[in-house]
Amino acid sequence: MKINVIGRQMNVYDDMKALIEKKLAKLDKFFPGQGDATVTLGHKRNEKSIEITISHSGTLFRSEVRAESFRDALDGACANIERQIRKNKTRLAKRLRDNTFAMPAVEEFDDLEADEEDILRTKTYPTKPMSPEEAILQMNLLGHQFFVFNDDQTGATCVVYTRHDGGYGLLVPEKE
């Protein structure tokens, strides 16, 4: 797995990079072939944070953990990603085996000036046709409360979201 380590407003030393590579090497068994991992370290006040994003064949796994030390945060983030993989093992095994969902996982962020009205940041990402069930899976893997996708049956841009009662909702645009 290709690992990219980034420090936000800090330097990341070689011993920390080695520890990250050692921990993420345990996840290689879930990703046949080549996967990409981005690990972002940061600290605010007394909290250390680690964000791990792994992409493989169009599937994203993401975990962000805050703790008192980087080691504790790294252990928690790796455990979260492994839990996500195990939870969705059958669907992911089929998807990773088939390589049917090859999509670049590059995200682009454009930070806008603070002078504009209410928009602080615009995020663009590549979309692909998928079923609502696949969109729910992706939403859960990313840990988000909603997910925008293109419906593979109608081609319409739809949104799945998590309801307060624990279920899921689907927003479909009306046809004119």
Domain formed by 108-171, architecture: 2-Layer Sandwich (3.30)
pLDDT for the residue 86? 81
pLDDT for the residue 93? 62
At residue 173, φ and ψ (nearest 5 deg) are -70, 145
Q: Where are the domains of the chain?
A: 2-98, 108-171
Q: Which of 52, 101, 97, 103 is nearest to 78 (CA)?
A: 52
State which H helix or E strand residue 123 sits in.
strand 121-124
pLDDT for the residue 92? 58
- Is the model more confident about 173 or about 121? 173
Torsion sign over Cα 135, 147, 30, 97: positive
Give 38: exposed, middle or buried? Use CB within 10 Å, 0-12, 13-18, 19+.
middle
Instruction: Tell me if domain 2-98 and domain 108-171 are identical in fold.
Output: no
Topology annotation, domain 2-98: Double Stranded RNA Binding Domain (3.30.160)
Mean pLDDT of 39-61: 86
